[in-house]
Structure 1
Amino acid sequence: MKSICVIGSLNIDLVAAVERFPLPGETLTSVGYTTFFGGKGGNQAVALGKLGANVRMVGKVGDDIHGSDYIRHLRMNGVDTTGVRQEQGAATGTAMILVDPQGENQIIISPGANGLLRPTDIDEHWDYMMEAELFLFQLEVPVGTVAYAMKRLKAAGKTVILDPAPASQLPDALFGYVDYMTPNETEIRYYAGRHQAYKLQLKEAAGVLLRKGVDTIVAKAGSEGAYYIRGIDLQHIAAFPSDPVDTTGAGDCFNAGFAYSLAAGSGP
């Protein structure tokens, strides 16, 4: 199996269960509260570790107790943490999450040390990164660092997967470094500049991204599964039946499973 390197965010998630989301200016009492290890990068790395992948992580946490705890958490779940640094004087990234009874969520992120991942960190860890074949990115670390790393990896002949979340303004050149892009319903419309009905305009919107240089689109469609789009080929892959409890991290699990499949040689 090919090895995988995740480059991205590491957050502590503060999750409150609510009967409904608050209105502006309104205060509600939580019906439950839990703390989790999160961040899209960390979520994807841990999911890959639990799947049994050969996975390593490049990212930053703070020099606080949360940072030390997170590094231990990654190691306990089979993730090589050689590329994870504790940034002096910085706090570990934090996500504040509300979850309603239907499993829908609202999220606010404080980047902390994630916002301090720089191109020089990519240079520092380059030899370590080169031991992997597949690279999985998200957009909770600086876009400039993501673009820099992707450009170098593309030139090195590596496979690059981009989970383009949260939706962010990206330089056009970045799309040309992406082998697989995995947007959800909202993100594909954002990046393609299309706002029509998702099902009717999916192929048109994906075509915009393909023309920008993305090789393949794997569009997440929630309960409807996913769409694989490459050139003029569009395939629908149905979802497994499930009863959602909490959708936080669902996209991260999808990306981990997809990367694992590619690493195992059973992907598209």
Structure 2
Amino acid sequence: MSQILVIGSANADHVMKFEYLPAAGQTLMSRDYRLELGGKGANQAVACARLAKPGTRTDFICHLGQDSIGDDMRQSWIKDGISTEGISQVAEQSTGTAMIFIGDNGENTIGVAAGANATLSPDDLEHHYALFANAQYLLAQLETPAATVAKALKMAKNLGVTTVLNPAPATALGHDVLKWVDVITPNETEAEALTGVEINHLDDAQMAAQLLHQQGVGIVVITLGSRGAYISSPGFTGLVPALEVQAIDTVAAGDTFNGALVVGLSEGMSIAAAVGFANAASAITVTRQGAQRAIPYRQELSY
């Protein structure tokens, strides 16, 4: 049985839509409100669980608050088949929360309270050693403390687990982190933050990828939005085009891509085939509103 381990954040996204964003001191009535289950780690764990074939186990290490939204998240993930061994609800902490205001022109203002996400420490990972030891792939992002992410990558690498890092939100990382990364999946903004190279053309993506290789990363996949994804790897180098769809909401597109990529690799797909699978999954996600509720199931893809 293949086992995928995801470590990361979980947030309750409170989304309100307005004709225009309120100014300081101004109160506006929202045109629409919805509560979304989000957070990069949780979204990617859901994508792994929904897109994997039967027999693949998805574990998720995260911290939730001891509150009703944390309870709801946990139950939702159980329905998707995610194992609960790594999910902890922390006393006197709230589940991570994001307040998102969206104007008709597409502009948005977002405030985030990390809540229980910020309490996931390097020491906490030792309690989940068995999950690392049994995993074939580790998928991580950067919405939990940097020291915890670094510890997770190092633990996994030392155990022979293939490590995949989605370096989002964009931030600079040191050699001490990247040397533990087998596959890295930045978008254009994140690639620039990591390398200093502004990504406008494929030549720029190639240059950024080479700089990441020099820091120890084996495979680089730079996502380029509607253009697709640029791969730099020993087995394949080049662009895998995206599918053409009418996008209405891109909020969970990157997370779906990352989850699907790891699923594809865990099933023995080549890096190019796994990126094609990931492109297909994220293409479905962007045609739907929401975060986790927009992520497709395996039977929706012709794979």
Q: Say yes or no: TM over 0.5.
A: yes
The match for 1:227 is: 230
Q: Which moved more, 1:230-239 or 1:212-221?
A: 230-239
The match for 1:157 is: 160
Give, in angstroms, the shift of residue 78 of structure 1. Answer: 1.0
The match for 1:191 is: 194
Give, in angstroms, the shift of residue 102 of structure 1. Answer: 7.6
Q: 1:86 to 1:223 in 2, by over 3 A?
A: same
Give, in angstroms, the shift of residue 47 of structure 1. Answer: 1.4
Matches within 5 A, 1:134-213: 134-195=137-198, 197-213=200-216
1:82 counterpart SS class: coil
Aligned Cα root-mean-square deviation (Å)? 2.2
Q: Which moved more, 1:71-80 or 1:228-237?
A: 228-237
Q: Is the 8 A contact 2:195 2:208 kept in 1?
A: yes
Q: 1:20 to 1:220 in 2, by over 3 A?
A: farther
Which of residues 52, 58, 61 in structure 2 aligns to 1:58? 61
Q: 1:100 to 1:239 in 2, by over 3 A?
A: farther
Structure 2: which 5+ residue stretches go unaligned?
272-303
How high is the TM-score relative to the length of structure 2?
0.82
Q: Does 1:237 align with 2:240?
A: yes
Q: Is the 8 A contact 1:119 1:149 kept in 2?
A: yes
Q: 1:100 to 1:230 in 2, by over 3 A?
A: farther
The match for 1:113 is: 116
Which of residues 72, 75, 94 in structure 1 aligns to 2:75? 72
CA distance in 2, matches of 1:60, 1:44: 15
Q: 1:105 to 1:259 in 2, by over 3 A?
A: farther
Q: 1:79 to 1:173 in 2, by over 3 A?
A: same
CA distance in 1, matches of 2:139, 2:232: 19
Structure 1: which 5+ residue stretches go unaligned?
none
How high is the TM-score relative to the length of structure 1?
0.92
Q: Does 1:6 align with 2:6?
A: yes
Q: Does 1:33 align with 2:33?
A: yes
Identity of aligned residues (%): 38
Per-residue CA distance 1:150-199 (angstroms, 9 max, x = gap): 11211111100000000123232100111110001111011101236344
The match for 2:280 is: none
Give, in angstroms, the shift of residue 6 of structure 1. Answer: 0.4
Q: Is the 8 A contact 2:8 2:141 kept in 1?
A: yes
CA distance in 1, matches of 2:215, 2:29: 46
CA distance in 2, matches of 1:204, 1:231: 15
1:160 counterpart SS class: strand
